């Protein structure tokens, strides 16, 4: 079970890396960032496929998306200097709340 969550963490890390490189890839016109995007998504989807062997699909996907979105907003803010307004912070807060509810109260993770 622990290895499934390690695969999920790897999937999240690879997805965040690939998504972060999308802006640098400039419409896939720059080779190195484009390779990072393609390889990152391949690693992410493969790792996610290994994680869902054990972790229920809906739960794993919710964590993958939710955590990925929150981290990407942080990357956009700190690395790309993209502003986050009050509505954006509220929306990200709702996503974080949803992930917290899944982890604390939901029986989705029980197999």
Tokens of 2: 């622990």
Q: For residue 63, is it within any domain?
A: yes
Q: For residue 110, is it within any domain?
A: no
Domain count, the chain: 1
pLDDT tens for each residue of 49-70? 999 999 999 889 999 999 999 9
pLDDT band at residue 111 under the 50/70/90 scheme: low
Q: For residue 111, is it within any domain?
A: no
- Separation CA 50–CA 6 (nearest Å): 10
What pLDDT is stored for residue 110 in this prediction?
61
Write down the pTM of the prediction. 0.88
If we measure between CA atoms, which residue out of 59, 54, 67, 70 comes closest to residue 7? 54
Say if residues 62 and 95 touch (Cβ distance below 8 Å): no
Q: For residue 99, is it within any domain?
A: yes
- State which residues form the domain around 12: 2-105
Q: How many CB atoms lie within 10 A of CB 68?
A: 20
- Separation CA 73–CA 79 (nearest Å): 10
Q: Is 16 a residue whose pLDDT tops 90? A: yes
């Amino acid at each position: 079970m622990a290895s499934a969550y390690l695969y999920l963490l790897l999937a999240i890390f690879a997805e965040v890396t690939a998504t972060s490189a999308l802006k640098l890839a400039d419409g896939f016109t720059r080779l190195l960032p484009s390779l990072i995007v393609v390889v990152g998504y391949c690693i992410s989807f493969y790792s996610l496929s290994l994680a869902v062997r054990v972790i229920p699909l809906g739960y794993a996907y919710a964590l993958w998306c939710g955590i990925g979105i929150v981290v990407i907003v942080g990357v956009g803010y700190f690395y790309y200097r993209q502003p986050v307004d009050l509505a954006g912070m509220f929306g990200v807060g709702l996503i974080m709340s949803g992930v917290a509810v899944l982890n604390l109260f939901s029986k989705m993770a029980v197999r």
